[in-house]
């Protein structure tokens, strides 16, 4: 949402792609057993949770220090020639800084897996389905926020 407001739709989609990449990584780690490790080790879970919390607090402080609560009113609706790697990296960091996602996939996906069938194809179908829906929602949000961003950027609405 912040990327769609501060930058443009393509940057927001790049951030969404970063978040989706992180989710895929989290799903992979969960499938490889990291979820079980985090569930079994309170220290490991707390460490990952604290690292994620510190990053999110840093993002919050950075947002509050910006103009008008993080929205740069002076920026135009589009950012021409801007690299999409930065929004992608921000999306990836936000998506990967949530340790609860690993536990979610560890607890949620096995309910839909048949133990008598091969694991990898089933997990791939679940992952692809989840990623498709997740990206669809993020893309719809990016499009919607980008469409109303000029109105939200007006100084009257910001006040």
Q: At residue 155, does pLDDT exceed 50? A: yes
Q: At residue 81, does pLDDT exceed 60? A: no
**Total number of residues shown for the chain:** 159
Do 30 and 113 touch, CB atoms closer than 8 A? no
Write phi, then psi, for 98 (nearest 5 degrees).
Answer: -110, 100
Q: Measured in whole angstroms, how far is the alpha carbon of residue 47 from the centre of its chain?
A: 20
- For 104-154, write each residue's pLDDT tens digit: 787 777 778 787 888 888 889 999 999 999 999 999 999 998 888 888 777
CA distance 110 to 122: 10
Q: What share of the chain is helix, strand, coil (3-state, %, to 5)?
A: 80, 0, 20
Q: CB under 8 Å to 60, separation ≥6 — which residues?
A: none
Sign of the alpha-carbon dihedral angle for 143, 145, 150, 151: positive
What torsion, rounded to 10 degrees, do the Cα atoms 82, 85, 86, 89 define?
160
CA distance 35 to 50: 16
- For 95-106, write each residue's pLDDT tens digit: 887 777 877 787
Query: Which residue carries 């009257």 as its tokens?
Result: 156
Q: What is the residue-averaged pLDDT of the chain?
A: 77
Give the global pTM: 0.65
Looking at the chain, the whole-number percentage of residues with pLDDT higher than 70 is: 77
Q: At residue 25, does pLDDT exceed 80? A: yes
Residue 13: the pLDDT is 92
Quick one: which of 102, 126, 101 has its CA closest to 112?
126
Residue 141: the pLDDT is 92
């Amino acid at each position: 949402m912040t990327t769609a407001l501060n930058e443009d739709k393509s940057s927001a989609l790049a951030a969404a792609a970063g978040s989706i990449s992180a989710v895929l990584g989290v799903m992979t780690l969960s499938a490889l057993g990291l979820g079980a490790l985090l569930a079994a080790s309170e220290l490991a879970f707390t460490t990952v949770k604290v690292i994620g919390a510190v990053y999110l607090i840093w993002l919050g402080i950075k947002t509050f220090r910006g103009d008008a609560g993080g929205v740069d009113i002076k920026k135009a609706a589009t950012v021409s020639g801007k690299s999409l790697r930065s929004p992608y990296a921000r999306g990836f960091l936000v998506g990967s800084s949530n340790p609860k996602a690993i536990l979610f996939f560890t607890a949620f996906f096995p309910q839909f897996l048949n133990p008598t069938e091969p694991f990898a194809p089933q997990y791939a179908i679940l992952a692809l389905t989840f990623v498709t829906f997740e990206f669809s929602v993020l893309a719809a949000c990016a499009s919607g926020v980008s469409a109303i961003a000029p109105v939200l950027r007006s100084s009257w609405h910001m006040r």
